[in-house]
Chains A and B, each alone.
Chain A
Amino acid sequence: MNIVVCVKQVPDTESPRKLKSDDKTLDRGAADGVINELDEYAIEEALQIRDAQGGEVTVLTMGPGKALDSIRKALAMGVDKAVHLIDDALVGSDALQTSYAIQQVLGKTGFDLVILGSESTDARTGVLAAMLAERLGVPQLSQANKVEIDGSAIKIQRQTDYGFDRVEASLPAVVSVVEKINEPRYPSFKGIMAAKKKPVESLSAADADIDAGKVGLANAATEVVDFAEAPPRAQGQIVKDEGDGGTKIAEYLASKKFV
């Protein structure tokens, strides 16, 4: 089975995240880059499916040179090979454009199964899996907390606010995963060493047949107009419990008309 995992490198939430004042895009230099957390679950799921069904896992990343660190980590976890879409023309692409670019790369790699995180931690749009499924005309098996594959039949549990839906489809398909689907492995020392020899194919926009006139900040359908730091919250009142802490909160809530 040909499995492609889409991985985004995002700024570490522990370090300060900023937008750049000139073009209002994410300042990827300001913070450490890490694999978007949910994408580690996507990688883990891909590895488990490969190990059960046979086949190969490719990690696909669109991002700057720095994103190579995330690719290396994915390879160290056990992914077989990588495709890195890297081109200045892609900088500032919005979700519509990113889904187009990834679709074009998938045209090169082919796929039986594409696995994504259900949401990134930086932009958090949560639209990519749906956009890709729409573009590719294949089943959208998103928000999965369980995936089962039997031949070309695929079943998932789709997490919802009320519980979950059982969903059935056939491959090829796009899957996105939520956090509780598995427990991502840590790269072993052996894995880290092996990763160094695994193939990483670097593609420009042209290599992937991406029309440069359709991607990047200038051609984006959306535009950030302005941004500012949110005003800090005023320092609140903090009281040590002297046996009447619950009552004190109740009084506070009453003063604010919550009770």
Chain B
Amino acid sequence: MSEILVLVDHLDGEVKKVTFELLTLARRFGDAAAVWIGPGYEGAKDKLAEYGAAKVYVAADEELTSYVVAPKAEVLAQLAREKSAAAVLVSATAEGKEVAGRLAIKLDTGVLTDVVDVADDFTGEHSIFGGAIVAHAKVKSGMPIIAVRPNAIAVEASQSSPAEEQVSVTLSDAAKSAKIVERVVQEKGERPDLTEAAIVVSGGRGVGGADNFSIIEGLADSLGAAVGASRAATDAGWYPHQFQVGQTGKTVSPQLYIAVGISGAIQHRAGMQTSKTIVAINKDSEAPIFDLVDFGIVGDLFQVAPQLTEEVNKRK
């Protein structure tokens, strides 16, 4: 069977859920071949087996994660050629898409980004213009490189015992031209990643200040959710920009999205419209967010949100 290369998305050995989604997807088309780049593999190998990796290519050299993006594309390009892979799957995160872009140039082939599903002949389904249009696109010739949006594919476990193959790559000078001299990890506590979370609770201008975001965090924690924010909230400095949901922030597609004190501007909707279930708390019954909701409460968030948190905690 032909191999589908899956770039493992991990931070120092902690594997992101999207990797299991990609492995699940890859199994539909052939042998799921996980590509591990950087340190930390030993602690993660069982997880890759649990989700059905038929093979794992391990490129553990620390040098590969010491430069911006380019080394990952060189590892993938080498493997894609050597193994005559049928396709390459990466996660459609900012970095995943950049890897895909560089790889496409190396292999002179097309890249599909932000794909939410893949059909038999590697036709990708895209949800575009903030979810208003569903389009199908494919790579006409050459090896398809597909960046798949986190949370789009339902994971299925399937135990395997993957063969391991160590990979060594001699990096080009160009790949070593942007050196990462320090990595600054900002505390996000125990919360799940915003783009991966099954539940996201977002706060907007209505929250009224940085301190009040503890209301949003409290609700999120009761549900085991990630915290997001509207641009009004990140612009005001109430919450860091990497948590912004929307057109110029993250695109999220959780099972449940709760918008608190967010009006639902089109640029915000562009980042959350494809959430499966949407709930909103807003004191203005005319707020456009209510056009999207499955369930909405017209009310003061300072009353409603803490009550909800308490109720959820009670029911646990």
Contacts and interface: CB of A to CB of B under 8 A. Distances in A.
Interface of A: 13-14, 17-19, 24, 37-38, 94-96, 99, 118-119, 121-131, 133-135, 137-143, 145, 158-170, 173, 178-180, 220-230, 233-234, 236-241, 243-250, 252-254, 256, 258-259
11 contacts: A127-B101, A168-B178, A222-B111, A222-B139, A228-B134, A236-B290, A236-B295, A238-B285, A244-B307, A249-B308, A258-B223
B248 A121 contact: yes
B101 A246 contact: no
B181 interface: yes
Nearest to B309: A246
Contact of A161 (B73, B174, B193): B193
Given A165-B184, A168-B181, A245-B303, A133 B136 contact: no
Interface stretch (B52-60, B91-99, B154-162, B203-211): B91-99
B102 A130 contact: yes
B111 A246 contact: no
A248 B311 CA distance: 9
In the A-B complex, list the 7 residue pairs whose CB atoms are closest, starting with the nearest: A246-B307, A241-B299, A221-B110, A127-B101, A250-B311, A246-B308, A163-B186
A167 B94 contact: no
Contacts of A169: 177-179
B111 A96 contact: yes
Nearest to A221: B110
Given A165-B183, A166-B184, A238-B296, A250 B308 contact: yes
Contacts of A258: 199, 223, 255-256, 277
Contact of B307 (A95, A129, A139, A247): A247
A236 B104 contact: no
Contact of B69 (A18, A140, A170, A227): A140
A160 B106 CA distance: 24
A220 B316 CA distance: 53
Given A131-B101, A238-B290, A165 B182 contact: yes
Contact of B241 (A24, A159, A221): A159
Contacts of B73: 134
A163 B105 contact: no
A246 B306 contact: yes
B138 interface: yes
A167 B179 contact: yes
A237 B101 CA distance: 43
Nearest to B266: A13
B280 to A, nearest CB: 9
B292 interface: yes
Interface residues of B, number: 98
Contacts of A124: 113-114, 128
A239 B255 CA distance: 21
A128 B113 contact: no
A92 to B, nearest CB: 12
A223 B138 contact: yes
B98 A129 contact: yes
B279 interface: yes
B181 A245 contact: no
| Residue from B101, B182, B244 whose CB has the most chain A CB atoms within 10 Å | B101
B137 A230 contact: no
Contacts of B118: none
A19 B126 CA distance: 13
B247 A180 contact: no
Interface in B201-247: 223, 234, 241-242, 244, 247
Given A139-B68, A256-B277, A222 B137 contact: yes
A164 B186 CA distance: 8
Nearest to A11: B129
B298 A161 contact: no
Given A38-B248, A165-B180, A230-B133, A127 B111 contact: yes
A162 B312 CA distance: 28
B123 to A, nearest CB: 6
A215 to B, nearest CB: 14
